[in-house]
């Protein structure tokens, strides 16, 4: 199958969260299975062209925008250690910027930037003579590829046999914009914008809604989230829209590329370990603590976290309880994260108040993140909602027991440790409240104090298989299903 993937972030070139990992791991699996995935993404300033060996193609794209034409050039490269083709859409006025979506705040012209990317994807496919069976869009940024496929390119023989599949990674980011601008840039015109139209949402445009409405099939990143978002509580105002597509909506659990995420081979770690050499995990922990000037009582449990610092991630629960645990020296805490200033400030405060009990890195850092996965004993993901979540799956592979709230992909991947049966891979709490969270953390400390049980739980966690090969296969089934409609 020829699969044209349009996304704003792709690992390792440019990443802010799980979307980037999922786009690249799926593509690698599809390629292994004999399909031809082609990724289109913006040429962001942060992409290291030399390191990743990108070259200009000297193809110039004419990109229709509104009633005028704009231009893009494209660069060719490959996902590292694979034959997956990646094309970067270069337009410096849109993408030569420090951020992917914004820097201090979202870029004001994100509607225009992402409409441009979406339209350029079609022109790139034609210029490359790549006829897709499937056009696969991810989140609101590339959602407008869905209406483009069904309108502007509907009668283009090049896309006559192309089905559109739209994947929701996070319903909280919908892309709501001023209709005058969106409808003009996308060349639909205000005639297509009226109450109840597929472009309209309470007087604004809403890229997410439009993508959901026009796609042949809609997927999201875990089975539980697929059910949750059809309710008012999780639907972020789009539950009715999602229910209108219920028969075409399917949850496919994200997978992990274990070639990239494996403690036996991870090159960011000071030493590698496996399920049969867990004593090295302890050595990594000791080294990590000492490297951060913590030299005493190294066996206190280390609780880690790697995350965007947003409300979604349940930081409020941590704020409520963390100091109780730190003050009584029940745990040490390590976090790598960036995001909302109020949360960054909080963790900086923790660092200054508990310098020998906390390790705080504010910012994005792959190496330190990997060390936290490996060095920690427990790993926190107390999210308010979580479409899938990759960090708990990475933690498990590194033998680090996740403490998660029972929502979205978290409940699809983590099972409570039951001491009497020696089963389970982590700790799960159900209600979004600080007491339930603290109780889950206490349960994890109980398990930690029983080394035999701890090792068994670690082995259970490391033995879980969330490989992206499985999810890639499920996407292919959905793609076939989408093509039946064409």
Q: For binding to ligand GLC (CB under 6 A), which residues are involved? A: 17-19, 22, 169-170, 221, 254, 386-390, 409
Cβ of residue 318: shortest distance to ligand GLC, in angstroms? 17
Which DSSP string corresponds to 361-406?
A: EES--HHHHHHHHHH-SEEEE--S--SS-SHHHHHHHTT-EEEEES
- Which residue carries 């983590």 as its tokens? 414
Report the partner that residue 89 touches, choosing among ligand ADP, ligand GLC, none (CB closer than 5 to 8 A by kind): none
Report which residue's Cβ sits closest to ligand ADP.
18
Using CA atoms, how far apart are residues 208 and 204, in angstroms rounded to an integer? 12
C-beta closer to ligand ADP: residue 388 or 403 = 388
Smallest distance from the beta carbon of 407 to ligand ADP, in angstroms?
12
Partner whose binding site includes residue 376, from ligand GLC, ligand ADP, none (CB under 5 to 8 Å by kind): none
> Please, what is the minimum distance in Å from the beta carbon of residue 233 to ligand GLC?
17
For residues 15 and 101, give the distance between their C-alpha atoms in angstroms, rounded to a whole number: 11
307 contact choice in ligand GLC, ligand ADP, none (CB below 5 to 8 Å, kind-dependent): ligand ADP
If the CB atoms of residues 179 and 387 are measured against ligand GLC, the closer one turns out to be 387
Residue 417 contact among ligand ADP, ligand GLC, none, beta carbon within 5 to 8 Å by kind: none
In this structure, the number of other CB atoms found within 10 A of the CB of residue 256 comes to 24
Cα–Cα distance list, 263 to 186, 195, 258, 273, 398 (Å) = 46, 53, 9, 6, 6
Please report how close the Cβ of residue 311 comes to ligand GLC at its closest, in angstroms.
Answer: 12
Phi, psi (deg, nearest 5) at residue 376 = -75, 155
Considering beta carbons, is residue 283 or 311 the nearer one to ligand GLC?
311
- For residue 369, the minimal CB distance to ligand ADP (Å) is 4
- Residue 77, sorted as left (phi over 0), alpha (psi -120 to 50) or beta, turns out to be beta
Instruction: Work out what residue 115 binds among ligand GLC, ligand ADP, none; the CB cut-off runs from 5 to 8 Å by kind.
Output: none
Residue number, 154 or 367, with CB nearest to ligand ADP: 367
> Rounded CA gap, 230 and 232, in Å?
7
Pairing state of beta strands 401-405 and 378-381? Answer: parallel
Selection from ligand GLC, ligand ADP, none that 318 binds (CB < 5 to 8 A by kind) is none
In whole angstroms, how close is the CB of 309 to ligand ADP at the nearest point?
Answer: 8
C-beta of 118 vs 167, nearer to ligand GLC:
167
Find the largest Cα–Cα distance for the chain: 70
Residue 141 or 213 having the CB closest to ligand ADP: 141
Could you tell me the smallest distance in angstroms from the CB atom of residue 98 to ligand ADP?
16
Report the interface residues with ligand ADP, using CB under 6 A. Answer: 17-19, 21, 306-308, 336-338, 364-366, 369, 388-391
Q: How far is CA 193 from CA 13, 205, 210, 240, 294, in A?
A: 36, 8, 11, 19, 60
Kindly tell me which of 300 and 406 has the beta carbon lying closer to ligand ADP: 406
CB–CB of 331/440 below 8 Å? no
Torsion sign across C-alpha atoms 78, 80, 84, 90: negative
CB of 134 to ligand ADP, least distance (A): 23
């Amino acid at each position: 199958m020829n699969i044209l993937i349009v996304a704003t972030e792709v690992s390792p070139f440019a990443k802010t969260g799980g979307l980037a990992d999922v786009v690249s791991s799926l593509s690698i699996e599809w390629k292994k299975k004999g399909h031809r995935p082609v990724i289109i993404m913006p040429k962001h300033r942060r992409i290291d062209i030399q390191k990743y060996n990108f070259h200009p193609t000297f193809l110039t794209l004419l990109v229709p925008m509104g009633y005028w034409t704009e231009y893009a050039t494209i660069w060719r490269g490959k996902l590292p250690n694979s034959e997956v083709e990646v094309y970067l859409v270069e337009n410096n006025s849109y993408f030569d910027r420090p951020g992917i979506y914004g820097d201090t705040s979202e870029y004001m012209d994100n509607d225009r930037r992402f409409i441009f990317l979406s339209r350029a994807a079609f022109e790139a496919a034609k210029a490359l003579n790549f006829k897709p069976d499937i056009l696969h869009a991810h989140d609101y940024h590339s959602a407008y590829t869905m209406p483009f496929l069904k309108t502007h390119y509907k009668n283009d023989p090049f896309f006559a046999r192309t089905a559109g599949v739209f994947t929701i990674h996070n319903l909280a980011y919908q892309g709501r914009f001023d209709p005058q601008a969106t409808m003009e840039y996308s060349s639909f015109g205000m005639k297509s914008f009226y109450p109840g139209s597929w472009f309209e949402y309470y007087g604004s445009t809403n890229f997410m809604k439009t993508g959901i409405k026009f796609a042949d099939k809609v997927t999201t990143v875990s089975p539980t989230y697929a059910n949750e978002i059809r309710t008012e509580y999780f639907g972020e105002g789009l539950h009715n829209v999602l229910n209108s597509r219920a028969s075409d909506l399917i949850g496919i659990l994200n997978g992990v590329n274990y070639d990239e995420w494996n403690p036996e081979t991870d090159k960011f770690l000071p030493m590698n370990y496996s399920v049969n050499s867990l004593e090295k995990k302890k050595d990594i922990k000791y080294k990590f603590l000492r490297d951060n000037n913590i030299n005493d009582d190294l066996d206190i449990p280390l609780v880690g976290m790697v995350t965007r610092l947003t409300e979604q991630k349940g930081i409020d629960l941590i704020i409520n309880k963390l100091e109780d645990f730190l003050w009584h020296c029940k745990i040490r805490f390590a976090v790598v994260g960036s995001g909302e200033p109020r949360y960054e400030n909080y963790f900086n405060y923790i660092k200054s108040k508990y310098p020998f009990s906390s390790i705080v890195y504010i910012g994005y850092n792959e190496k330190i993140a990997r060390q936290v996965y490996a060095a920690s004993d427990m790993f926190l993901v107390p999210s308010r909602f979580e479409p899938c979540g990759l960090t708990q799956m990475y933690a498990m592979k590194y033998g680090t027991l996740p403490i998660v709230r029972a929502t979205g992909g978290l409940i699809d991947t983590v099972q409570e440790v039951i001491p009497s049966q020696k089963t389970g891979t982590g700790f799960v709490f159900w209600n979004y409240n600080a007491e339930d969270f603290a109780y889950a953390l206490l349960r994890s400390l109980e398990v930690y104090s029983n080394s035999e049980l701890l090792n068994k739980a670690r082995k259970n966690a490391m033995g879980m298989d969330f490989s992206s090969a499985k999810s890639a296969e499920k996407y292919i089934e959905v793609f076939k299903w989408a093509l039946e409609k064409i």
